[in-house]
Every structure is written in structure tokens, then in C-alpha cells.
Structure 1
């Protein structure tokens, strides 16, 4: 054994130390988050127990306890009984030791149940030291991202393999030690050195030393400030809540998270490997299961309820297949979500994206064929491209798949042909299909003719459990209430739309006139071809089909009029529309409208002018909020969303902000995401900011002038009229 062997052992020891270090760094970060969570969880448990009447102890003991004297003594809740303890309970007249023992045992059982089920919610509008500590602790893990988790997994496996080899190779670390070792130990050391060399070489080729070092740096970096952590929480709340659920240990019911699939299918899905090399986001447990389901079953429909992250699950499947060597993928979607798909893939993965849309789509198609990546196109554009040969496309993703339920439609026939030619298919729809067997069968037939032929009307009549069992090989659906144990109280989505040709024409007219307000509402001037209006109708329809109520806000009364007319023009039995609430509606009448909206059975839509309806009204009956355009004052958006997202809201609130690409909306969003907006996001929490929001908002006039001038320059209209805001 010479210098080369000693160097191999030294390299192995350094790598082993780095692996153990990153595992320890991650463990400390997790423990810090658990420590920050504990006082908040304990307080939530105490509040819950303090709200449970002492009479509930009768239920636990099947009526054996007599609690009249206990209540008369002032102990009226389960929490107060636990706080009192055995000594004080024994002092109550008529309460003996046996009753005390039974009472405390029953109270502890209730307490254990509450500990298991109570969830901690982070109120972004009322931060206090304990929640700030939790957000800052979670921020470290969120910022480290999935790369840190991958580093920890790799480090754990490597340390387990490398540790025993280093022990056996120890004699080789020194010449004298090797000489003094017996023959058997020398042979074992030589074999171990070879094993260490192989492991170290493999790890270095995979870039593991750099991965471990970067992960440790990320986990030890800490947070620059509590403000930075809160800002990040608002931007990425879903990732924070995902970590919170994992750290708290309160995962959703396994059967619900797995869509109540039969055991044999669920087991196959659980054992499916999921590679995260090309993914930039961590998945919640149910999301990872959904991605594995698509991989294990090859051709499936993902029917999760709106807000559960179907797009992220699809991206996880794409990333896995790319890691396996697949190079070409296709996403087909309505034009209204084309931009969203492009931005999500770019933000959530390292995959190359190519948009096949517009006049240059055939050139883009040729480029995609040659270079690969994820091609994102529309139903109509897909018809113009030649269907692939077998094995050419790694995965066909079809978003809003209910749009191709009619087999006679040309778009449906085109999708069916592509699905037949692709080895894997992932259809996505948030529309519940249990009671639409005919339509559902048409979708299933594109993926699996055998399952489609076996699916009869009786399956739906027998109830959703029988239906899901019949379609289990191809269909997975989860509902929010089943899988979100730590409910993210607010999910915000920027819905980017490409303006239609007539939208663009109306926008150019407004820019030419230098009319800032006209530019902001140009997307609604021609309703019959409005891209934003089309997307709004889709959101309202999907919310309605899931039994949810929606509030639609706009700064402009005429935009609300257009929305009202468009929604009212729906099919008979369409979602009822209330409002609009505008500045001209008396305060009492506004509340009457809100009450009628809240009291309506089933889905409903409430329209409101954001500066009138966004303050002072409680709209917590709604769990979906649509903002027709971005607001100049961020406080207007915050206050409007707060009308629905407030105490008493039992469902997470989904906020969709409709934005048009390439114009005034995009410029406003970029300007308002600067330091001025970050300052506002926190200054607004102070008493002064709540009373005088204008004090911290960006100047309306200055912002408008800059945007008009920049848009006129972009569109070659520098000699046009100066800005107006009428």
C-alpha cells in the first residue's frame, strides 16, 4: 500500500465527512422549524380544547360521568379540566377520586385527538413574533429547495455505503499500520480501498461533492431579515405549507391522498421511482403520488380539484422522463393558459420550452423536432402538425381535457390521434366527471379502450366509490378537503393571457390616444373576442362545477358590466350572478347583495368594483377571487382579497389575477414588484398604513406616465398624444 491508496482513503474520508455534514445541517434546519412550530401548535391545541364544552366528556365515557357539579364550579371546557388537574378536581363537592380519574382520562383522549388533527395557519396580515420565527425557520428550507433534499438523500445513501468501507480501509491510511495488520485485515483493507475508490470516483462524476457543499451553504445561510422571509412566504406560500405539513407529521389520510385507488394499483404507484434532477420545486406527498401514478400507469386522467397543483404534477412527470433520456414532449392546452404553461415550465424545471402558436408555429415546430424540449401548443394549432411516429414523443399532456370530450369535434379527433401515437399520455381536468359517464368514457377511450368499454352508466349510479374503482387504472382525483391537512389559506395565481387580434387593436388605439385607463381595460372592449373574458368564464365555470362561490373585482364599472353580460349569457341554469357592487350602491344595499350571495345555495358569482366592494364587507362565502386587471395601488388588491380571505373562511382562497402579456399589465406588475411594492407589503400592516394606504402606495400619476411613454415607444408611437387618465 502506497501513497495512492492513502490518498484514496483521505478522499473517501473527506467525502464521508461532507455527506454527514449536509445531513446534520439539514437535520438542524428541520429541528429549528419544529421548535418554532411547537408553541404555535400548542397554542392552537389550547384554543381548541378551550372551545370544547365539558359535556363532550360524556360522549367519550358513554355517559358514565356526572358533570353538573364540575360545570357549576366554573370548569366549563375540556381545556379548563386539564388545567385544573387532579387536586383541584377532587376539591369539587360530590366529585370522588374515581370520577376524577375517568374525567382526566377522557379529557386526555380528547386532547390527544386534537393534537393529531389541529393545524397551524399562518396569518400574513397579522404577523407576530412566534409566526415570524416559524416563517423564518421554514424560509431556510424553502430557499435550499429540492436540491438540498436531493443532496441529503444522496448523502445518506453514500454515508451508509462509505462508512463501513472506511473502517475496513483504516489500516491503509498509514504504512506502519498496514505492516502491523494481519493478513486477513490487509486483504480486507485492500478490498475496501478499491470500494472506496469506486464510490469516490462515482460520486465525483455525479458532482456530489459540489452538491453537498452548496446544500450546506444554503442550509446555514439563514435569513437576511424577517421582512424578506414574509415576502417570500407570500410569493411561495404553497411550498411553505408543504414543508409545514411534512414537519408537523400530520400528513393527509393515505387512502384519500391516493384517490382511494385499489390496493394493487396504489402499491404499484408507490414503488414507482420519481427523479427530481430537472425539477426546481418540492412536491407535497399527494402531488408526488399523482406524478408517480402518471408514470406507472402510462396513460391517465388526472382529475384533481382546482387548486391542488395539477400543472406541477405534470411538470414533475416531464422532468422525470427527461432524466430518463426522453427528449421531446408536447403540452396541448387552451390558448388562454398557453403563457401560463410556458412560464410554469420555465420556473419549475430546467426543461427547454418552445411555444408552437401564432404565424411562426410551423417554423417553431421544425425547431422543436430538431432540438427537442417541451412544445406548448393549442388544440387548434395541434391539428396543423403531423402526428408523431411511435416513441417519438415521450409524453403528451392535455390540459383542460374536457374540451375534447366530443368525439365528433376535429380538435378531439386530433388529440385522439396524437394520444394513440404517444406511449404516454396525461390528460388533466378539474371538472368532476363522476356523473358524466358518457363524456368521461369518450376521454378514457383515447387512453384505454378496454377500460372505456367496461365503463357503464350503472357505475355512476352506484356512487363515486364504485365509479373510481371502475376507472382506477386511468383516473385519479383528490379533493382539497381530503389532502390539504395544513391548508394554505391563500393561493395566488397570475393568469397570463395573450391578447386576441381585436384586443390588440383596441389596446393600440388606447396607447395612441395616451389614455392610461383605456389601456388598462382594452382587453374587455370587444367581449366577443376577449381573451381575458374567455379565461374568466373558464374560472367561474370550473369553480361552479366544484360547488364554489366566486367574487370578481375590477376597478372599472364598464368592465363589470361586460363581465355581467358575459356570465348572464351562459346556458340555462348557469351560475347566478349578484351585483355589481359599485360606489353608487348605498352601503345598506351593498350588504343586502352580499347577504343574498352568501345565502344562495350552491355556486354563485358576486361582482364588485374594487374600490367600493374591497373595503368593509365580509365575503367569506367565496373561495375563488378573480381580479380583472392589476391595480395601481397594491393595497386595493390586498384589501379586496381580504374580504374573502379572513377569519371564518373554511376553505383556502384561490386568487386569479388576469394579466395580458407584453403591455400595460406586464409593465405594472414589474414596476409594482420593485422595492416600492415590497415596502408597501409590510408597511400596510402598521396602524398608520391601514388608516392611510395612500401614504405607502406608489404614485398613480408617475407610474401611469412612465407606462404610457414606454408603451408608445415600444409600439412606435412616440409622436402621439400625451398621457390622459380619464
Structure 2
């Protein structure tokens, strides 16, 4: 018997296909009958996404919702008698011998009896019938012989699937289109690419920081006398013979090299080298990058790298935070989202990086120095009990905050969250407001959206501006004609409500109409609630009790008035009076008792670079009379009257000056600058005995110096009243550490020179500069138009020693500026322009 080779191969292929079909059907039957879980393509803390493509995983899950007789299917499958594939391939090889058994081979080779038997068996296999039976089983399973699953009809089972997913996750379920998932995946890819660029830029910053730290350490070690090694060796090593060497030279030496020096033995050499290397290591590890604007060369690479990173991060602020990581799905796939549906609708988040050169980097530093110094700052500035520190360590700040927190600020925000009701007493200028805003943003991210700020009435607008600038939270001003509407809107939808202290009194809205819970309460200038008998203090106390979290903010050092301090602590912790009574008379006991509710840091504790100047914009809400005088001046087109409209003795600004001086009398001495003689007279009359001067045009140089000398000798709380054009030259007033600019000046150089009277060599305290500003007025217009001038002047003044004498070099036409401001204000109040 001989068989045609072509016929034989076709026969083998047919039988092989039946065996493979049988195996595939067997696998599908085993897989689907064993059941499965809902096929998940991604999950996080808030959501879980399920996709139902035509796959075995989907079929196995859907089997629980379909009435299938798996026993009958297994019985049908068992009726198909075919060998396993490996066994069949061996049989096929035997069968192929029959096609070669012809011609001379029939004479010289033995008959392939086994192969002939295999061929006969293959010819007896009814391949079409087997495929038909297997296809029937496949159809019952909802699949094809290509191992793809079709006709699963999850749409018909949607109700059962949804109920199962709700039971599985405990979350509501929504159905989305496959295209949405794929658009989300595409957006995710661009986000990941942007983050990869950010990480690369950050790696460059860290590399530059290491190089700068190494250079700083080397310079410090080179200028450090070797006698410092006495502290490491406890004076046991004689270092006199090595006094001519530097510490790096000793550290890099071998003992044999030092032993060549007269009087240096092997023991001395080894101990000196070990001490030098140990000290060098400590110095290197203790370095933090120092940015020196006056000596740019050593730190330019670091500043440039950091400028590139910070400017690129500005472009990333609208990127979704921690988007759900999903995989693509085939078109038409049913997708269910359990929990929060945060899938990105589409679009690209590509963020190409524009490299910044060194000159642009230094310009950026000039206006954003705080952010440069904030990078990598992780210090808390304070020690707290271990159990509190552990709770703080477990907190990761979340939410959207458009600023970089310093390490101590982040620590303060976490302290608030960990302890829930606290008093932050950080020194002025350390950003207490920012710490509160970080808490607001964090809680809003957790769904706790009702924040309430209580502050002096003059600071309401300040809070509103800060919240709008640094967060995405809506604000509701509980003041003015719309206060009731705003109050209802806040109670209904959340956000940050801003109220003055008067609104906390009995009979006011916060006391009588509050229907919602307060997630977080922030009380600014909290020392104003120190009198327990006043209605506003009682209102603050009541709100504190109602709030889940409460933070009191004050830069006034309340430790100096313990009784008032204890009142505020008692509002925050009802057990505090008892705790303090138990430790009365012991300083350490008092500190331990208040450690859980009180946190205070000073600038010298937390700012390594100790910025010599702290500037604060005080936006003061005008009184109706102020506005009336101002609009009259605008209609008349009288620029100087416009500037003076908010400066009368009864004005809101004059009240704010009194508040500043009363709230921080212990902080030091103050200089108030104004352009106008009329304001000088009002200030002198309002301030009474604590006012010195005035220093103004027409006052002789001798009388000016006498006023400065008397001011210098006076007690803390003294105020020197100055006309800015008269006092901006020729006086050194280091006794002052606070400056108030009553109104913005047309020339930023004039302000800079005035500030320089106190902020100059010999000043040992950080100087605070308060700019009193009125919103929606000539002052706001001036600030907007002068920002670029001020930044330009700042850069000029820093770069040139002649800036103090030639500030006009960077000024522009004041006449043009005045015309622009008057025109803009007339348009704002609806006054027609005049020819």
C-alpha cells in the first residue's frame, strides 16, 4: 500500500484541526465553567473600573448569570475520541512513511504497517461531524473555534451585572463608552510624559544642589582653623604641628605623609586624619544650597536648574492629580465605573519644556525668591511630643494649593490637621494664612467643604484675595448688601465664608442662623478674642465648639500675657485651665501642657536665609464716606484728591493703622510714611503721645535728627511719622523694624529709598513693610501699573551700587501714568471721559 504525499498531508491537517478544536473547546469549557470575577482594568481609593470585552475572562464572569448545562456539554465533549496532539504528531510521522513506500524502496525496506494503520484510522475520522459537535458546544458557551468570545450579550445582563458590582464594591455604578476609556488612556500618556520631564528637571536641580553643597563645604572647610578638630579628639591630639595645613589637606593625606612633619608621630597622624575626615563628612552632609544674589557665580547653575523646574511646574498646575491608570479596550466594549467617575474626557496634556537661561533665571529669582528658598525645605522649626510627631508623619497634604509651602508651613498645616484645635502663633511674615489655606484645600479634597474665617473687618478683603490667589475654593463675603445671599449660598454649597468679628456677636447671622456644620474655623488676629466677657469673644468660643477643626492665628507673642493666652487655649481645649492649674509655677510643665495646642516659630528658627525684608499688602475695605469722597475726585479728574480720599482721620485706613500698632506694640518701633501733609496731621492727632516727628518739608535737618534720636531712645511701640519725600534721604533709622506705607507712591524708587532708612547695615531685626491699599481704586490701578516698574527697579538696585543715587534711571513718565489711571477709574465708575 502506498499513499500520495499531498493527499496524506491534507488528511493530517484535517485531523489535526479537529484535535486542536477539541482542545480549545475543552479549555473554554473548563475556564468558563469554573467561573470568574468581574474583569477589572484599573482601580484606586475612589473608583474601580470594569471592562467586558469578548474574552475568556468576561465569559467566565458572565457564566454565573446564564443558565448553562455544563454537565451535558462535558458529556458531548467526552464522546469525541481523539488522541492528544503530541501523540497524534508521532502517529502522523509514522503515516508519512507510507508515501515513501514505493518503487525500489518496496524491495529494500520493510512494510510500514503501523503507518498504514494510522492512515486507515485518519480516513475513518469524520472531521466535519466533529467540528459540528464542537461548534455546537462553542455556541452554547458563546464562543468561536478561534478562542474569541462573541455573542456574550452583556447588555441583556446589564441589570444583573450592575447589581453584582454594587454588591462587590459598595459604590454606585455608571456605564461609560469604550471611547472615553481610550481617550483617558491617551491623556494619561501625555500626563506621564509631562511628569517624566518634571522628574528629569528635578534630577538636574538635585545634581546642581549637590555640586553647590560640595563647593560650599569645601570653602567652609578651607577657612576653618584646624583647631576645631580639638572638639572631635577631646584635645588628645597635638595639632600645633599641623596648624599650617587646612582640614581638607589633612583629610586627603596619608599617615606617612604627615609623619614627615617634625613632632608628628604615627598615632597623631592617624588620629588627625580620622578627625579631619569625620569633620569634613559632617560639614558636607549639613550643607543646604545657599543662593547669594551678590555673588552669583557659584550658585548660578543651581538657580538656573531651579528656575527651569519651577517655571515648568507652573505649566503643570492644571494637570489632573493621580489620574486612574487604565488599559485600552476594544471599541464597543462595555465599561462600568464603580465609585467616582474621574475619567478624563479627552484632550492632550502635552507640556513641552522651554529651557530658561541664566539671565532669565536670575530675573525669575528676583521676583520669586521665596519659592526658590522653599524648594527642599523640610524643617518644621519646632519640636513637638513624639505621639504628635507620629500623627503628623502619617498625614500627606492633598488638594490644590497654588504655592510651594516651606517645610515649617507644611508642618504647621499637618499640626492643625493632627490636633484639630490649635493656636498657630508664628512670628509675623512666616505665612500663617498660607498654613490655614493648605488645611482648607486638604479638607475640601476630602469632601469637607465648609470653611469659615473670622477676622478683623479691615482684613476681610485680604483673606478673599489670598484665597482666590492660592486656592480654587469659592469665597462668600458675609458683609455688605449681599451678605444674607452669600451666607445662604455658603451653607448650601460650601466654600470659604469670610466674616468680621462683629458677625460673631449675639444677634448676628453666625450666632442665630447657622444651620450647617463648620468643617474648619480660622480665627485671624485671634488675640482680639482674649476678653471672655466681650460678645465677640463669646461668639468665637461658640463657633470653636461647633467646628470640627479650629485654628487661631496670631503673630502677637501672647506668652507675655499669660492670662489672656490661657483664655484662648481654654476655648480650644476645655480641659486646658485644669491642666495649667496643675503645673502652675513650673515653666517646663506649662510648655508641656500647651504643646498639643500651641505652635510658634520665629524667623530665625526657620529661615536659614533670613530674608531681610518682609512685605505685606494690607487691602483695606473703605468706608462709604471714603468711597463718596473718592468718586467725587474721580469725576473732577483731580488726581491728588483721588489719592487722599481714603486718608481722613475717620477713614478705614486710619483704623487699620491703629489696629496694627495696638496688635503689635511689643514687636518694636514703627515708621509711617505718607506723601501728604494732611495725612501727617491726622496721624499725629490720632496717635497722640506715641507719635514722634513729624519729619516733613520745612523741618530743619537738626530738628529731623532730634526727632530720630528721641524715637531711637523711646520704648517699643513708638511711631515716627514722616513725609516720604522728606524722610527718604539722609537719615539712618535702624531703631525701627516696621514700616507702614500709607499709600502707594508713583515712583517705586521713592518707596525703596524710604524703606532703606531702616533696612540698612546695622539693622539686626527683620524689617516688616506694610502697604495700606484700597481695592477698586486709584491705588489698585497704581499697584497693577507699577508692578513691572517695581520689579525692574528691584533688579536694578540689586545689580548696581549707583541705584541709591540714580533711581530715575529706570523710571517712566509719571504724567502718562496719571492720565492712564484717571481714564481707567472714570471708565470703571461709569463717568464719561472728558476732553
TM-score, normalization by structure 2 = 0.67
**2:366–2:795 contact (8 Å) kept in structure 1:** no
Aligned counterpart, 1:358: 480
Distance 2:279 2:676 in 1: 52
After alignment, is 577-586 or 440-449 more displaced?
Answer: 577-586
Query: Matched residues in 1 for 2:706 and 2:228: separation?
Result: 37
Provide the C-alpha distance between the structure 2 equivalents of 1:621 and 1:364, rounded to a whole number of angstroms: 45
Alignment of 1:236-385 (within 5 A): 236-245=368-377, 251-252=378-379, 257=381, 259-276=382-399, 278-383=400-505, 384-385=508-509
Partner of 1:481: 604
**355, 360, 364: which one pairs with 1:222?**
355
Judge which range, 30-39 or 102-111, deviates more: 102-111
1:462-493 Cα shifts (integer Å, max 9, x gaps): 22x43332123332222222233454454432
Could you report, residue by residue, the CA deviation over 1:163-197 in whole angstroms, capped at 9, with x for unpaired residues? xxx9xxxxxx9xxxxxxxxxxxxxxxxxxx99xx9
- Does the 8 A contact of 2:184 with 2:346 survive in 1? no
Indicate yes or no: 2:778 matched with 1:660. no
Maintained 8 Å contact 1:345/1:353: yes
Q: Which residue, 801, 812, 816 being the options, matches 1:702? A: 816
* 1:642-683 superposed Cα distances (whole Å, 9 cap, x missing partner): 555566766654432221112121110111135x55544445
1:34 to 1:595, Cα distance in 2 relative to 1, 3 A: farther
Deviations 1:397-425 (A, max 9, x none): 21111111111111112222222233332
Q: Does 1:128 align with 2:296?
A: yes
Give, in whole Å, the separation in 2 of the partners of 1:12 and 1:359: 45
SS in structure 2 at match of 1:524: coil
2:688 counterpart of 1:520: no
- Residues 672-700 of structure 1, C-alpha deviations (whole Å, 9 max, x = no match): 135x5554444553567665321321212
Distance 1:480 1:683 in 2: 27
Query: Which of the numbers 128, 138, 154 marks the counterpart of 2:306?
Result: 138
**Contact 1:506-1:525 at 8 Å conserved across structures:** no
Deviation at 1:711, TM superposition (A): 3.5
* Aligned partner of 2:205 among 33, 40, 53: 33
Structure 1 residue ranges without an equivalent (≥5): 167-172, 174-192, 246-250, 571-576
Structure 1's 325 and 112: CA in aligned 2 closer, same or farther, altered over 3 A? same
Match of 1:471 in 2: 594
> 1:380–1:203: structure 2 CA closer, same or farther, 3 Å change rule?
closer
What whole-Å deviation, never above 9, does each CA across 1:408-457 have from its counterpart, x for those lacking one?
Answer: 11111222222223333222122223343322232233332122333238
Write out aligned runs for 1:663-674 (5 A).
Answer: 663-674=777-788
For this pair of structures, how many residues does the alignment match?
657
Residue 373 (structure 1) shift? 1.8
- Could you tell me how far 1:630 is from its partner in structure 2? 1.6
Taking the aligned partners of 1:629 and 1:430, their CA distance within structure 2 comes to: 24
Aligned residue among 619, 622, 625 for 1:499:
622
Structure 2 spans left out of the alignment, 5+ residues: 1-27, 29-52, 58-147, 149-177
3-state secondary structure, aligned to 1:308: coil
CA distance in 2, matches of 1:209, 1:715: 42
Judging changes above 3 Å, is the alpha-carbon distance between structure 1 residues 473 and 69 closer, same or farther for their aligned structure 2 residues? closer
What is aligned with 1:554? 674
What corresponds to 1:441 in structure 2? 566
SS of the aligned residue for 1:357 comes to coil
Secondary structure of the residue that 1:354 maps to in structure 2? strand
Contact persistence 1:632–1:700 (CA under 8 A):
yes
Report the more deviating stretch, 711-720 or 688-697.
711-720
Which of 342, 351, 358 pairs up with 1:206?
Answer: 342
- For the pair shown, the structure with the greater C-alpha radius of gyration is 2
8 A Cα contact 2:291 2:299, kept in partner: yes
Match of 2:752?
Answer: 638
Taking structure 1 as reference, are residues 43 and 510 closer, same or farther at Cα in structure 2, changes over 3 Å only? farther
Task: Quote how far apart the aligned CAs of 1:707 are.
Answer: 2.4
SS at match of 1:626: strand
* 2:533 corresponds to 1:408: yes
Give the conservation status (yes or no) of the 8 Å contact 1:52–1:79. no
CA contact (8 A) 2:583 2:589 kept: no
Distance 1:554 1:83 in 2: 61
- CA shift at 1:372, angstroms? 2.8
Q: CA RMSD in A?
A: 4.6
3-state SS, counterpart of residue 423 of structure 2:
strand
Q: Distance in 2 between matches of 1:55 and 1:595?
A: 44
Q: Which residue of 2 aligns with 1:462?
A: 586
Q: 1:522 to 1:266 in 2, by over 3 A?
A: same
